[in-house]
């Protein structure tokens, strides 16, 4: 009881003083180590060294840089233009293009935020000009943007794998089918909604010959080649995530310079933003590592497992409780922060109950995706509100994204009923 009082009190006290979350986690862990493990604070130093010396974690800044380069290159606009004619006659029109291009862009950016920003900056002005409902536009962009965390290469999977020593290649393979499934469910929802209310998406009477549509895809083949080079090399076992990320950065720079409008100044800005973002993530990882070490030394996960076993709660009831806790915490923490903060307890708890570690990684990623579109902290909501120049308020964006996080919850239900949806490809390829 004293431990839990120290843990909760320490986090609330440090967080209440507006200290950075990484510092709050680290300071709380150091206090616990000092008072509950005979001053074994040196163990925290060893744990930090082991995590930051991990070859896997070094892939994170590379994938961040890859996404930043593409974000500034204008390639997202060419991809959007290529996909636009495909869905022109389908009820929903360019709303489907939003989801399709978010899926494609998510396969190279690894970041939900980057995906929403890159596609939103292209789609929103064009769609408002054509008379699409503004709330429906931002809802589709916010929902589609979350696919950047699930479609590999995913920063969520990279950090999850580094902190839990789980295969990155298997995690990437596990995210493919659920990511495509969620994307298709988004498009199905938009289709039926626009059938019932055609005013949300005006009908496009312009005809585009099939050969012209095919010709338009010549603008995205470099992006497809980049996806195959990065994801294919990891899933195929030809390269480690770090090696693939390094090659991906070089290819992204070349592609963006030739087919996009990347300049040296934009490249420097991409590097600067990547350093800032990874520094923020790294500080979180540092604090969470210290806290994880304190929790592990005291055997807290084992105690929780024993408590759960004695309580008589079923395995799936525990999973339901974990998901509900994530949904509540997702209102106050951004997705990656929440995952890093909770993994020390949640991962050993769920795997100890018999859930597959790869499957757990997919479920946690989907739950933190919901946090990306949950107010008041949902980052995708804030980005899209800014992109609309506040024409659509944060509250309206949040309401518009409710169907998308309900679809995410349905995806969790489906993956719980049919774990093979996530585990089929990893088991087939590895």
- What integer best gives the mean pLDDT of the chain? 77
**Residues shown for the chain:** 430
Which residues 6+ apart lie within 8 Å of 308 measured at CB?
Answer: 318, 349, 353
79-88, 263-272, 410-419: which range is least confident on average? 79-88
Q: Which two tokens stand for residue 29?
A: 């862990």
Per-residue pLDDT at 357: 92
Q: Is the pLDDT of residue 39 over 60?
A: no
Higher pLDDT, 93 or 332: 93
Summarised one tens digit per residue, pLDDT across range 179-219 is 889 989 999 999 998 888 888 877 766 666 666 666 666 76
Give the C-alpha separation, 340 to 159, whole Å.
8
Q: What φ, ψ does residue 40 adopt, rounded to 5°?
A: -80, 50
Per-residue pLDDT at 391: 76
Kindly state the DSSP code that residue 140 receives in the 8-state scheme. Answer: H
* pLDDT average, residue stretch 104-122: 72
Per-residue pLDDT at 246: 84
Which residues 6+ apart lie within 8 Å of 58 measured at CB?
Answer: 242
């Amino acid at each position: 009881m004293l431990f839990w009082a120290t843990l909760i009190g320490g986090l609330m006290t440090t967080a209440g003083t507006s200290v950075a979350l990484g510092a709050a986690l680290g300071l709380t862990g150091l206090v616990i180590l000092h008072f509950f493990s005979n001053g074994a604070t040196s163990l925290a130093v060893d744990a930090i060294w082991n995590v930051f010396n991990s070859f896997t974690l070094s892939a994170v800044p590379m994938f961040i840089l890859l996404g930043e380069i593409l974000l500034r290159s204008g390639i997202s606009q060419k991809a959007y233009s290529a996909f636009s004619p495909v869905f022109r006659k389908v009820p929903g029109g360019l709303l489907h293009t939003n989801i399709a291009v978010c899926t494609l862009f998510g396969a190279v950016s690894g970041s939900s935020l980057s995906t929403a920003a890159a596609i939103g900056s292209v789609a929103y002005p064009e769609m408002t000009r054509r008379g699409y409902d503004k709330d429906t536009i931002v809802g589709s962009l916010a929902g589609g943007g979350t696919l950047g965390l699930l479609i590999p290469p995913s920063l969520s999977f990279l950090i999850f794998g580094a902190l839990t020593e789980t295969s990155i290649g298997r995690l990437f393979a596990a995210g493919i089918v659920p990511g495509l499934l969620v994307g298709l469910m988004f498009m199905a929802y938009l289709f039926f909604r626009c059938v019932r209310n055609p005013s949300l998406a005006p009908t496009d009477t312009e005809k585009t010959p099939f050969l012209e549509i095919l010709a338009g895809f010549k603008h995205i083949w470099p992006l497809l080649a980049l996806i195959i080079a990065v994801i294919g090399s990891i899933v195929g076992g030809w390269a480690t995530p770090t090696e693939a990320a390094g090659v991906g950065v070089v290819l992204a720079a070349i592609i963006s310079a030739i087919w996009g409008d990347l300049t040296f100044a934009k490249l420097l800005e991409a590097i600067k933003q990547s350093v800032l973002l990874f520094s923020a993530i790294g500080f979180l990882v540092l604090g969470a590592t210290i806290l994880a070490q304190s929790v592990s030394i005291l055997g807290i996960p084992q105690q929780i497992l024993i408590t759960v076993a004695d309580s008589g709660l079923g395995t799936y009831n525990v999973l339901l409780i974990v998901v509900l806790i994530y949904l509540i915490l997702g209102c106050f923490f951004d997705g990656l922060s929440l995952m890093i903060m909770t993994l020390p307890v949640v991962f050993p708890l769920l795997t100890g109950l018999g859930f597959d570690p790869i499957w757990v990684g997919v479920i946690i990623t989907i739950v933190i995706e919901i946090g990306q579109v949950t107010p008041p902290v949902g980052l995708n909501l804030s980005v899209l509100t800014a992109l609309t120049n506040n024409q659509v308020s944060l509250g309206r964006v949040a309401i518009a994204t409710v169907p998308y996080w309900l679809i995410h919850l349905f995806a969790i239900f489906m993956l719980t009923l049919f774990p093979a949806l996530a585990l089929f490809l990893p088991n087939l390829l590895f």
